[in-house]
């Protein structure tokens, strides 16, 4: 998979795990990040003001735990990224899971394509065994991997220096906004035809807020169009 760097070691990948009320799922998420094949990782968990056992569960794993008052997912992501030291960076939501070969495949792709700033992959949507499907269950995607979900992204650290942090004013779609800014900055993105993310559907997904998500997404798209127009004028 990924070739070693000049020192003989695989490049360091920083994995930021924003977490809020995630005690039921975070252990499985962390195990999937720490169990990556042929990859060297640092895992930074940001407990965003949870009142359950999220921090307690996370502290049983070899991760760096950051605790802060609840400020939202964008702020949690930024808190972790500000302390990250990897050559590559990515976000793992505390309720999702990675296949064991995710990082090896994506790091290998970026190292083979130096013109790319980020790489995406396929996402498999799943329901926790034994749970009833919630109302927002995307039946159309059942059993069929989907492309270009924001959570499938791996980026070079240098991309964050150009694009900046996640927009903390957003409580939804902050990842889509960031990807739009990547595109508008002219940074090239690649993709691999392989499942790199297992996205868990459950009753507390932020995606359940359909109307709020649609309104925020419209704002994100408008901002993207405005940036593109300003670039053309300039």
What tens digit of pLDDT does each residue of 194-210 get? 999 999 986 655 554 46
Classify residue 230: in a domain, yes or no.
no
Classify residue 50: in a domain, yes or no.
yes
CATH of the domain at 143: 3.90.550.10
Distances in Å between the alpha carbon of 43 and those of 33, 116, 213, 218, 222? Answer: 8, 24, 28, 33, 34
Distances in Å between the alpha carbon of 35 and those of 40, 116, 202, 216, 217? Answer: 10, 26, 24, 35, 34
* Sole residue written with tokens 């309104």: 215
Examine the pLDDT at 3 and tell me if it is beyond 50. no
CB 192 within 8 A of CB 119: yes
Residues facing residue 90 across a β-bridge: 15, 154
Q: What is the pLDDT of residues 145-190, one digit of tens each?
A: 999 799 999 999 999 999 999 999 998 889 999 999 999 999 999 9
In this structure, the dihedral spanned by the alpha carbons of residues 155, 181, 210 and 150, taken in order and rounded to 10 degrees, is: -10
* Domain membership of residue 88 as a residue range: 12-171+186-203
Classify residue 219: in a domain, yes or no.
no
Examine the pLDDT at 219 and tell me if it is beyond 80. no
Classify residue 226: in a domain, yes or no.
no
Q: Which residues contact 130 (CB under 8 A, 6 or more apart)?
A: none
Examine the pLDDT at 143 and tell me if it is beyond 80. no
Classify residue 220: in a domain, yes or no.
no
Count of domains observed in the chain:
1
Q: What is the pLDDT of residues 86-103, one digit of tens each?
A: 999 999 999 999 999 999
Classify residue 4: in a domain, yes or no.
no
Classify residue 213: in a domain, yes or no.
no
Residue 173, sorted as left (phi over 0), alpha (psi -120 to 50) or beta, turns out to be: left
Examine the pLDDT at 4 and tell me if it is beyond 90. no
Q: Residue 14: phi, psi to the nearest 5?
A: -90, 125
């Amino acid at each position: 998979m990924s070739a070693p760097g000049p020192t003989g070691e695989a490049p360091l990948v920083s994995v930021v795990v924003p977490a809020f009320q995630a005690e039921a799922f975070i252990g499985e998420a962390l195990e999937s990040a720490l169990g990556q094949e042929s990859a060297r990782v640092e895992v930074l968990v940001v407990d965003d003001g949870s009142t359950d056992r999220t921090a307690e569960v996370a502290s049983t794993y070899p991760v760096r735990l950051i605790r802060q008052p609840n400020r939202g997912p964008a702020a949690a992501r930024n808190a972790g990224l500000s302390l990250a030291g990897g050559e590559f960076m990515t976000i793992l939501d505390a309720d999702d899971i990675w296949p064991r070969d995710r990082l090896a495949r994506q790091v290998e792709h970026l190292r083979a394509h130096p013109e790319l700033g980020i790489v995406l992959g396929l996402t498999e949507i799943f329901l926790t065994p034994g749970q009833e499907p919630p109302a927002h269950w995307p039946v159309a995607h059942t059993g069929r991997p989907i492309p270009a979900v924001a959570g499938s992204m791996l980026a070079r650290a240098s991309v964050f220096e150009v694009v900046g942090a996640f927009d903390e004013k957003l409580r939804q779609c902050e990842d889509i906004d960031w990807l739009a800014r990547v595109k508008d900055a002219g940074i090239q993105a690649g993709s691999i035809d392989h499942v790199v993310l297992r996205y868990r559907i459950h009753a507390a997904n932020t995606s359940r807020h359909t109307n709020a998500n649609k309104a925020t997404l419209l704002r994100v798209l408008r901002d993207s169009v405005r940036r593109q127009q300003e670039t053309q004028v300039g």
